[in-house]
Structure 1
Amino acid sequence: MRTRLTSFVGREADLDAIRTDLRGARLVTLLGAGGAGKTRLSQEAAESVADRWPDGVWLAELAPVRDPDAIAEAVLTALGGRETVLRGSTAEGLRAATDPHALDPLAQLAERCASRHMLLVLDNCEHVVDAAATLVETLLLECPHVTVLATSREPLGVPGESVRPVEPLPDPVALRLLADRGAAALPGFRTEADPEACAEICRRLDGLPLAIELAAARLRSLTPRQLADRLDDRFRLLTGGSRTVLPRQQALRAVVDWSWDLLDDAERAVLRRLSVFSGGCELDQAEAVCADGDAEPAARLVDPRDVAALLGALVDKSLVVAAPAGPGGMRYRLLETVAEYASERLDEAGERSAAERRHLVAYRELARTADPLLRGPAQREWLERLESDHDNVRTALRRAVAARDEHEALCLVLSMYWFWELRGHRSDATTWSKAASDLGPDPFAEPGVRAPALRERCTDAPPPMSPEQLAEARREAWIIHFACAQPDVMWVNSEEGRGQLRVLAETYAPGQPQVCRPPAASWFFALLVLGEYVQVNEVLEASVRSCRESGAEWELAMTLHMRCRMLNERPGGLEQSELDAEESLALFTRLGDQWGVAEALSGRGEAYERLGRLAEAAGDYRRAITLAEELGAHSQVPMLRARLAGVLLESDDDSLGEEGEDAEAMLYEAVEQGERSGGDTGHFARVGLAMRLGREGRVEEAREQIRALRGTFEQWAPSFFCGMIDGLDGYLDVRAGEPRAGLAKLRGAIAGMRSDPLTQIVAPQMVVWWLATVAEAMSGIGRADTAARLLGAYDVQREPFGNVPVVTRECRDRAARAARTELGDTVYERLYAEGGGLTPDEAATLAGTHDDGPADGT
């Protein structure tokens, strides 16, 4: 064993495992990709256990041996047993002439080792693997006290072999290696000076020690950032290693060339075609992409039936990494260095266009197959499958868009939309729906074009689409972008924006099959923005009827859920809302749609909240959270947790909370999660926090939430949302003892919300609730008469909306006490009764009066 000239970094667990393996097996093979550090690890492991073998540890390097018949002689030479024998009259010469085994290196080796207690390290067996296997098997059979530690890129296949995979270095250890070798190349180098670039270098070089050492040598002339930015050309960049190592270890390309040269033509074809995948693949897609699918059988280099065996061979040769995936499957991937090399070889073979086309088709078909399965009992399995292949789908989309293949791009977008929705990939939905839409004409540019009723989905069959399906696909992609992109207020209120939304609203007819299911079901958002809330009710009614008539159970469950959510916010709608939630829950349960069950439970929980049945609401939210967490519904869980927190804060009964449930902490967590995933969760949680903190008198903390909301809402939100924030801000002023400032904001909030038709659909009760807060502010500035009238109006008008938030109830009670104290019972009751007779418009007008001074008399 030679003395090593550099330090050994990491691998403590690997060393322990190898020591254990050497106790139980006489042949241990370290298996790994080129540059993974097998040679150094084998030597460190061997030296660490040298005291177990009285006759020593011996190293035989097989990399220089090209002739398989010469490896026994090479090992014999390494052991110091090679002799030069001249045929002649000597005794040795006479024995050689008469004994054919005397000149057989393998026989000599076995004879030399027969009685020895020794460990033999055979380094780099892969290029002579058959001969190495024969040699090792002979030694193990004829030399009972010999143990062999081999390194190879594929197993030797000898009975009793124990294979120990050598994985790339984990990130922290790889960073330590870069720091150590970088400091040797450039004194004073520290990874802490640019941790991001150094981590990127280690990650993009797959944690391969050889590649990291070659990169460290470049730090003499490049900064870590410059080096990281140039790794796309890693084979040109990473050269010039130590002159004392083997030539193939002096450059990264030579390491991979060594493995490539050991492959047959079919293995090379599969390896280079694997480079078109992003993040690996499963067997079905590998068979579809790596085989010569369109060629005549006689011209095929790779038959689809042979791909599994060829992948196995590449795994054995440490060029492909295989890992379990899903129920009973395997996933195959290339290290980034191997992938870049294989990609170059794909270009050399002139196969890129065909391979990328097969890749696009394979993942379009995967997405198309998965889409309907996301609405039933296999939902979780297919969500995980699409998540694991999301990078491949993105790559397929990128290629379809680059090729301006509108049919393929639209098919992929529509097939992936429900996955994106369930897993909270809103940015993907926004980006790719826009990219696909840009490939064709604007589907809503011309008014008066009515969409035909289409029962089939646009993705029920593979492209190309029929003219009708293509037109519908364009409309649905546009709707996805509209629903996910949160268009800004200026566009929505502009002549162009409202005109386009008007065309969208008039394109479909209520009850058409496609508007009963996503994404076209979101067309009614255009009606919401346009303020046509009466028509929204008609649309949902028509969709429910249409689904019942056609027997479309999933669509019916979804439509009932949407109607439940709308009715939860409408006066007098809670009875029907609860019925819709119950039916939706029963349908989703029967269909095995776990996401749907969680959504239906959430809808019913909201109905229970409005009805004041808080314990039942909390139970539904908890069950929904459990289901959503199991499913990995990343955007669903934070909202459900925020709703549960809201229920816990509303309750005066501490028994509602379970162990470990901290409502305020849950809201802060929901804010963080919502900001990461996008959507409305963070906003909803901030509103809850502002109310909670304001109620406790922590006004400045509450105002931090208001400031964050303003920073978001003022960029895109309609008047309703801005009015809600103004009202909350006014409530905080009142709580802080600043009733005049609060009154000004509350009046602005009521005016803004009443001017926005969206208020009537999203939260018509909000204006009513602000009446109680305005009454408290009026009491604070000496207008007890107005406060009493507003309280009378509030108590009558809030009744159809069910349960009222605790902060509003407390405002109402404080205002009533103050007004009654100032006015006396008789006057208070008279003014209160007058207020009870006011219409909503009259009450809002009274709240908005500018006569803020104290009353002259009552």
Structure 2
Amino acid sequence: MCLAENGPVRYSVLGPTRAHTSEGSVAVGGPRVRALLTVLALRAGRGVPVGVLVEEVWAAEPPADAVAALQALVGRLRRALGHERVVSVDGGYRLDATPDDVDAHRFVRLAADGVRELDAGRPSPAAELLDEALALWKGPALADLPDRAAEGARWEARRVDARRARLTAALALGEAAAVLPELAALCAEHPLDEPLQALRIRALRDTGRPSEALAAYESVRRDLAERLGADPSPELRALHAELLDTPVRAAAPAPAHRPPLGNLRARLTSFVGREDDIAALQGDLRTGRLVTLLGPGGAGKTRLSQEAAERVSAEWRDGVWLVELAPVTDPEAVTEAVLAGVGARETVLFGAGAEELRLGEEPAGRLVEHCADRSMLVLLDNCEHVVGAAAELVEVLLARCPGVSVLATSREPLGVPGEVLRPLGPLPWETAVRLFGERGAAVRPGFDVAEDAEAAA
């Protein structure tokens, strides 16, 4: 059927090759004719040499008299479209059309406009433009070319870029929940596309699923290491650090009548001074998931950390758990010490409200299982002599247990991403003298530092 000779015609190559008029769309000729139209449409308005047409229409199997065979195809295409729409030019042929008459070129223009809007901080118009661009796709690009692999792959890559931009706009518009299924499917198709994977991780975070976001990051990190021998990009690592720095707190404060959870012991002596340090630590714990209190031996890190933890304990639904690492001499025993400290070592309980921790599972796995759904603060005291093992375990906990935060005391940093360091200096002179006086009076009633200020100093 010949198309109306005077009306405008548009062409589709993002899917089966077709021609469209105001009266509808029709397929054009047989496979070779459609291949010829595809090649001409991709270069709409430009002359295409005979040699290029033969190569792309017949690929590796050109006919004996390729020029004559091409002329026959052109004749059939002219009968379908109208003679004036396939123009003879010096050394070849030209489709009398503009780039915007071809869906592939319109797609490129609309997608570029959408990305510009997105870059300018206007996600709503960006989404409209990108939706219009993606709606042009009706199937695999250049489906009627006999050898479409390389060129088709380039167009498919452009399509993924547009979908990625559209999903970025969706997250900016607060539509994370709506697009998560599409993101999951697309990430499964392109497991090494880091910007795409970052979008999925952000969508999981934005829909209140931080544990899944951390698990998704770990899966991407592992894939990159195993398949490419590479580390995640700076963008992904920064996103991971954001996730680690986002504390997960209880949805509501615990009822007033409920006894506090955890294993912090009541202190038997008063706490003197350090109010500024306490306030600083409280602020650190509210904004970061790993805070390390640094200082030399005897500086008071243990007591200060417990005071600070106790004052913010209500912010963790499942309490504060102290793990004393000073007695641990073997780095391989750190995980078992933490299991014991949080009340999970070799526990096998069955029944309503009870947990089951499988015997025989490696200690880190048991610890993660215990902590994964809890909101708790773990206080690791005296990490310096097992700092490597402690750091490794903390990184696992933060990555796989989104409700866990860690307050560590150490003479050196743990070196874990997202770590907040709080150095501890000596007590002010007046506070130190007051503390010495209180402790002296506790063991010798009537003791007064003023009686021998020089000796007290």
After TM superposition, the score normalised by the length of structure 2 is 0.40
* Greater RCO (CA < 8 Å, at least 6 residues apart): 2
More helix by share: 1
- The structure with more radius of gyration: 1
More strand by share: 2
